[in-house]
Amino acid sequence: MTSFSILLRAVLITVTCSTCFTVAVTVDEQLQELRENYMEIKEATETKVNQLEATISQLKDQLQKQESLLISVSQRGEATATSCKCLTDVTAASGSSIDGISRPSVALSGIPSSCEDLGLIGHTLSGLYSVMGTEQVETVYCDFSKLPNEPSKLL
């Protein structure tokens, strides 16, 4: 009976060791699979970070260009405002036309100072208008059938 119990113990030890070995191999395989997955995720993350950094760089360049354009446009707007003190905003979409002549509308920040200003804001009918002279408001006759560079009559 002792030899049977020794044999039984040997079989149990063998089964237990083989199970432990199998579990150890399975754990090693899982660990290797986790390492491989980690490396794949790390590479994918690095690629995405590089793409995002490139996109950020492009967006910064575009922002700088837009800021430059905005500064340029605002400087042009200041130059236009100094050459014609009352003009501030051109709105061609709401322009007017009479006799087939199309004229853009312009918003004024003050009283028009010439027939040209009146024409720019949409006036098309010839007649008497009040404009800002050098020191006071003056009445002028504007003939909108003439070319814009022809002088108007001061009354």
Q: Give a three-class secondary structure readout of 41-73.
A: HHHHHHHHHHHHHHHHHHHHHHHHHHHHHHHHH
Closest CA to 99 of 124, 127, 126: 124
What whole-number distance in Å separates Cα of residue 128 and Cα of residue 131? 10
pTM above 0.75, yes or no: no
d(CA 65, CA 71): 10
How many residues are recorded in the chain? Answer: 155
pLDDT band at residue 118 under the 50/70/90 scheme: confident
pLDDT tens, position by position, 7-63:
667 666 776 666 555 666 688 888 899 999 999 999 999 999 999 999 999 999 988
Nearest to 115 by CA among 139, 79, 99: 139
